[in-house]
Amino acid sequence: MLGTWSFSARALGAAWPGLAQGGKALDAAVVACTMAEEDPAVDSVGYGGLPDADGQVSLDGCVMLAPGRAGSVACLKRHRHPVRVARMVMERTRHLMLAGEAADRFADEAGELREEVLAPEAAAAWKRWMEQAVGDALAAGTAVEREGVIDASLAPGPRPVDPGAGGPLFLSQERRWWGHDTIGAIVRDRAGTIAGACSTSGTPFKLPGRVGDSPIIGHGLYVDPAAGAAVATGTGELISAVCGSFLVVEGMRAGKSAVESIRAALERIERSFSLEPQHQAAFVALRADGDHAGGALRNGFLYSRQDGQGCTVSPATVVLRGD
Ligand code: GLY
């Protein structure tokens, strides 16, 4: 099992016993993401995730087994577990993706519990953001107010950095509130089936309605049993622009190693954008033969690996830039 950021170590650990007893890869990937979604200490996923500029949390996620076996949801506002709902989209409909209010209604009808998605810590962080950061950004001209909604999407800010403690990437870092991250899990089970899942609350204080890479098949996650799997985290706009996870898997299909494939996707992002200081993009990839790696544009990304020997949290195998 592989997961993005150090907080995924706890999530993979929770899913491991079931997998070790012969459980299925998809079940384990969903359990791992569900655990992170439930954890209020994770400020970028599920309950605990930082809200949009209106103070509302909206959650995105997807699951994938193969090009013909995937499901996703975007902008859930009443349910904490986008990966579970995404799995229901895959298993109970002929569609790939549901979004917005209708996705919440689908979750209701599928029997998912309606729950508060805004944790008190996240609400307090939004209040501080409104009181402190927004004023500075409005004064600097990097945020605008339109009909009462703050658009701070042009405001610069530091990127997420993982201190390795398995907790928040943003709340512990004063004014590091504009980055992005995601839990992504890739799992291979005893039968050799590979499954992936990813879940996010998206960019903190995003413009309401913004959707990043995570729920889009091929962007935030891609799995093809013939080639391997990749999951992304970081600035969704960068990752989506190059169909990042698909690009990594296509690299592996062409015979590159996991680390070479990640490097090529990161180089494509670097070539395609004028990178800003807050930008980060990272991938974790698993080739069908077990070769795997994690890589990032910049320092500060950690990934977790859980197997029969236990769990390790490691820095990226490849970091493209030294800054
Ligand atoms: N990578 C998560 C997002 O940008 O929403």
Q: What is the pLDDT of residues 257-279, one digit of tens each?
A: 999 999 999 999 999 999 988 89
Task: State which ligand 1 atom lies nearest to the alpha carbon of 60.
Answer: 5
Mean pLDDT taken over the chain: 92
- What are the angstrom distances between the C-alpha of 163 and each of 15, 169, 198, 302? 23, 7, 21, 9
Using the predicted structure, report yes or no on whether residue 78 has a pLDDT greater than 80.
yes
Q: Does ligand 1 come within 6 angstroms of the Cβ of 233?
A: yes
Backbone angles phi and psi of 108, in degrees to 5: -55, -50
Measure 211 CA to ligand 1 centroid, in angstroms: 8
The predicted-structure confidence for 172-224, as pLDDT tens digits, reads as follows: 454 444 445 789 999 999 999 999 999 999 988 999 999 999 999 999 999 99
Task: State which ligand 1 atom lies nearest to the alpha carbon of 235.
Answer: 4
Indicate whether 205 belongs to any domain. yes
Q: Name the residue of 37, 73, 169, 181 whose CB sits within 8 Å of the most ligand 1 atoms, as the mutation to test its pocket.
A: 181
Indicate whether 306 belongs to any domain. yes
Q: Which position among 4, 182, 200, 203 bears the catalytic label?
A: 182
Indicate whether 192 belongs to any domain. yes
Long-range contacts of 189-192 (CB under 8 A, 24+ apart): 189/19, 189/22, 189/23, 189/24, 189/25, 189/28, 190/19, 190/22, 191/24
Indicate whether 215 belongs to any domain. yes
Considering only CA atoms, which residue is closest to atom 4 of ligand 1? 236
Q: Does ligand 1 come within 6 angstroms of the Cβ of 180?
A: yes
Q: How far apart are CA 230 and CA 249, in angstroms?
A: 6
Q: Is 93 among the catalytic positions?
A: no
Indicate whether 218 belongs to any domain. yes
Measure 20 CA to ligand 1 centroid, in angstroms: 30
Q: What is the mean pLDDT of residues 128-140?
A: 83
Backbone angles phi and psi of 89, in degrees to 5: -60, -45
Q: Is residue 40 within 8 Å of residue 198, measured between CB atoms?
A: no
| Per-residue confidence band for 131, with pLDDT thresholds at 50, 70 and 90 | confident
Indicate whether 128 belongs to any domain. no
Structural domain containing residue 216: 2-53+174-319
Measure 244 CA to ligand 1 centroid, in angstroms: 12
Task: State which ligand 1 atom lies nearest to the alpha carbon of 202.
Answer: 5
Q: Does ligand 1 come within 6 angstroms of the Cβ of 182?
A: yes
**pLDDT on residue 309:** 95
Residues composing the chain = 323
**pLDDT on residue 232:** 98
Q: What is the mean pLDDT of residues 44-64?
A: 95
Q: How far is CA 224 from the centre of its chain?
A: 19
Q: Does ligand 1 come within 6 angstroms of the Cβ of 212?
A: yes
Q: Name the residue of 210, 214, 237, 278 whose CB sits within 8 Å of the most ligand 1 atoms, as the mutation to test its pocket.
A: 214
Nearest to 214 by CA among 196, 226, 188: 196
Which of 27-41, 175-189, 235-249, 308-322 bottoms out in mean pLDDT, i.e. has the lowest? 175-189
Measure 198 CA to ligand 1 centroid, in angstroms: 10
Indicate whether 260 belongs to any domain. yes
Q: Which residues contact 263 (CB under 8 A, 6 or more apart)?
A: 295, 318, 320
Domain CATH code at residue 180? 3.60.20.30
Task: State which ligand 1 atom lies nearest to the alpha carbon of 236.
Answer: 4
Which of 48-52, 89-93, 242-246, 252-256 bottoms out in mean pLDDT, i.e. has the lowest? 48-52
Task: State which ligand 1 atom lies nearest to the alpha carbon of 239.
Answer: 1
Q: Beta strand 318-319 with 292-296: parallel, antiparallel or unpaired?
A: parallel
Measure 210 CA to ligand 1 centroid, in angstroms: 10
Name the domain count of the chain.
Answer: 1
Indicate whether 242 belongs to any domain. yes
Q: What is the mean pLDDT of residues 98-123?
A: 96
**pLDDT on residue 152:** 81
Amino acid, single-letter form, for residue 130: M
What is the three-class DSSP state of 275? coil
What is the CB neighbour count within 10 angstroms for residue 209? 13
Q: Name the residue of 200, 278, 283 whose CB sits within 8 Å of the most ligand 1 atoms, as the mutation to test its pocket.
A: 200
Q: Is residue 175 within 8 Å of residue 133, measured between CB atoms?
A: yes
Q: How far apart are CA 133 and CA 152, in angstroms?
A: 9
